[in-house]
Structure 1
Amino acid sequence: MTSTAQLSTFSPEPQRRFDGMRRSLPPRTPKLVIGLGITFAIALFGLIGPLLVTDPMAISNIGLSGPSGEHLLGTTQTGQDVLAQLAHATRGSLIVGVTVGFLAVALSGLVGILGAYLGGRWDESFSLFTNVALVIPGIPLMIVVASYVEQKGLLMIIVVLTLTSWAGGARVLRAQTLSMRNRDYVLAAKVAGEPTWRIILVEILPNLLPVLASQFVFAVIFAILGESSLSFLGLGVSGTFSWGSMLFYAQNAFSLRLGAWWWFIPPGLMIALLGAGLALINFAIDEVINPKLRLATAAKAARKATR
């Protein structure tokens, strides 16, 4: 009897945690399915594509030729295969986007969540740091830093993009944490003597996962667009392919004037498709974050279930 009573007493707690995590996941809507499909296809192309194509720097005597059986996306002015360049450019752009996304979310979480939970001077210092970063224009700062740095390595681009993309997310996380730190389950954890790091990681952070996921998506989009802008202006990483560098070389070779559409349309289309896929994923996540959208989605699902 005692064991049965103990099981009935303690078994609902894991179930409640599981239900809470399940509610924090975005609903499986057409927007989410299409967005994940587009993003997964582009990521798979960037991961496997470079292993299946030829050397993107190899020069041939078939310069500026259209798509054919030998070169599916044609060649550049110097006879380089556009498909090979696109595969390596996809990998390069995704590396920058995902890395900056993770670093920006980690920095915004550290400043926003930790400062809001600790309060006092910590919160004031972190808020001042965030406000200063918010008023600095991102794109002009990237252009100035990239133009004055001689060795434009991949690490430098990632650092510049990270430092210009975290502040807005930190403000949102701070506001969310301030509303959570005085809730009953957080106060109960404090009374129970739980350490600060465990309260943040176990009690607060799981409730912020939809917000963090949305910020990660925005940071990836911002990083890819920012890197493409720098590369298009000739301020990107030298010796590394990306979608922006492909557009830069195509523009310098007057591909638009020469009618070489196969050179500049594929990288531009990849940027547009990835942006659309990530935007659709963000719309699905927003249905979890936004109470009005969450209620509208639940009502729509209920109407479908009654039919």
Structure 2
Amino acid sequence: GVRLSLDEAARIGLEKLMFGKPVGNEFGILTGTYRLIMKVKCFDQRDDVENVKMVIGGRVYGLLGTDTLGRDLAIGLMFGFPIALIIGIVSSLLTTMIGSMMGIVSGYMGGKIDMGIQRLCDILVNIPLLPILIFFTSILGSSAPKLIIILAVLIAFSWPGLAIVIRPMILQIKSGEFIEATIALGASKRRIIFKHIFPQVAPFIFAQMIFFTPSAILAEAALSFLGLGDPSIPTWGQILEYGFRCGALYLGYWWWVLPPGLLIVFSAITFVLIALGLEPVISPRLRRR
């Protein structure tokens, strides 16, 4: 047999040590048909072993290689794209729906309803989002899917900001002469809100919905990077977290760290640019002549 030190064995590589033969000072590939025999010792009569597969990964596989478990990183990034969109769009859609309606009701109804909604908004808007996300995912993570918890917390603590911003807009619209004329004609409050007030703030609400989307994507990525995400769902944050846990950054595996990080950044920038592009539509004063 050939005796090798640990440094020499590491330099040669596991594949050549298992399926190679010494050729001078190097190891060459030993061609032929291999037969591997595996013995499994079970300690319980109910134990059953079947459909056993041995997967031997090469040095390079797929567009971005694989992780330590042999999973294709490029496939994981592609699977993470629709998940990121679902998280961002669902969260932003529900947040803007709740926030806009609460802001409209608060501004139009006034009185105790306005005071109650605004005090609730003041409480929720001053609670930091990331710590509360960490708290709820840690406490409720075993009783419910973590993705559902993340979405629920994002929606519950994000809508007050929009409600606070919309309220003064509603107060200004409410004092308009056309609203007073509509009230004088006997229109109901529901008709005034949905027929005359909501269409005027709808473009602003739509732009805010786009602004909320990247914040939800970044929040999920931050939680996954901290190890609090759902490990069964291949999100970009999960790929980053597992890469850092396996030392990809220290080993120089840039293809494991840069692509998911850049995708998170580019997706956030994309939605922000879309929202900025809609500003001239929302505010006619910004339109170029």
Smaller-chain TM-score range? 0.7 to 0.9
SS of the aligned residue for 1:240 comes to coil
Q: Radius of gyration: which is bigger?
A: 2
- The reply on whether 1:106 has 2:105 as its aligned counterpart is no
Unaligned regions of 5+ residues in structure 2, if any? 1-52
Q: Give the whole-Å Cα distance in 1 for the aligned partners of 2:54 and 2:262.
A: 25
Identity of aligned residues (%): 31
Distance change in 2, residues 1:59/1:277 (3 Å): farther
1:152-180 Cα deviation digits (max 9, x unpaired): 51211100111221111111111111111
Provide the residue aligned with 1:286 in structure 2: 279
Are 1:83 and 2:74 counterparts? yes
Q: Does 1:295 align with 2:285?
A: yes
- The answer to whether the Cα contact below 8 Å between 2:136 and 2:149 also exists between their aligned partners in 1 is no
Matching residue within 232, 237, 246 for 2:230: 237
Q: How does 1:1-307 map to 2 (within 5 A)?
A: 60-62=55-57, 65-66=59-60, 71-151=62-142, 153=145, 154-290=147-283, 294-299=284-289
SS in 2 for 1:166: helix
After superposing the two structures, state which structure 1 stretch, 174-183 or 256-265, moved more: 256-265
| In 1: Cα distance, 2:54 partner to 2:240 partner | 18
CA RMSD of aligned residues (A): 1.9
Q: C-alpha offsets along residues 18-67 of structure 1, whole Å, 9 cap, x if unaligned? A: xxxxxxxxxxxxxxxxxxxxxxxxxxxxxxxxxxxxxxxx994326x44x
Structure 1 unaligned residues grouped into runs of 5+ = 1-57, 300-307
Q: Distance in 1 between matches of 2:78 and 2:69?
A: 18
Answer yes or no: is the 8 Å Cα contact 2:88–2:217 preserved in 1: yes
After TM superposition, give the deviation of residue 280 of structure 1 in Å: 0.9
Q: Is the 8 A contact 1:61 1:78 kept in 2?
A: no
Say whether the 8 Å CA contact 1:165–1:222 is kept in structure 2: no
Aligned residue-pair number: 235
- Counterpart residue type for residue 275 of structure 2: N
- Partner of residue 49, structure 1: none
Counterpart CA distance in 1 for 2:167 and 2:221 is 30
> What is the letter of the counterpart of residue 264 of structure 2?
I
Residues 90-124 of structure 1 deviation map (CA, whole Å, 9 limit, x = unaligned): 12121111111011101111211111111111101
Checking the alignment, whether the CA contact within 8 Å between 1:105 and 1:169 is kept in structure 2 is yes
CA shift in 2, pair 1:79/1:163, >3 Å: same
Say if 2:79 and 2:235, in contact at 8 Å, map to a contact too. Answer: yes
Partners of 1:106 and 1:295 in 2: CA distance: 26
Q: Against the structure 1 CA distance between its residues 200 and 61, is the aligned structure 2 distance closer, same or farther, given a 3 Å change threshold?
A: farther
Q: 1:284/1:59 Cα in 2 relative to 1: closer, same or farther (>3 Å)?
A: farther
- C-alpha distance 250-193 of structure 1, shift in aligned 2 (>3 A): same
Amino acid at match of 2:271: L
Secondary structure of the structure 2 residue equivalent to 1:165: helix
189 and 75 in structure 1: CA distance in 2 versus 1, 3 angstrom threshold:
same
* 1:289 CA displacement: 4.1
> How high is the TM-score relative to the length of structure 2?
0.76
1:54 is matched with none
Greater share of helix:
1
State whether residues 92 and 209 of structure 2, in contact with CA within 8 Å, keep that contact through their aligned partners in structure 1: yes
Question: 2:54 and 2:170 mapped to 1: Cα distance?
Answer: 56
Select the structure with the greater relative contact order (CA < 8 A; seq sep ≥ 6).
Answer: 1
Deviations for 1:193-229, whole angstroms, at most 9, x for unmatched residues?
2222221112111111221122112211111111110
Q: Quick one: distance in 2 between partners of 1:171 and 1:296?
A: 23
AA aligned to 2:69 is T
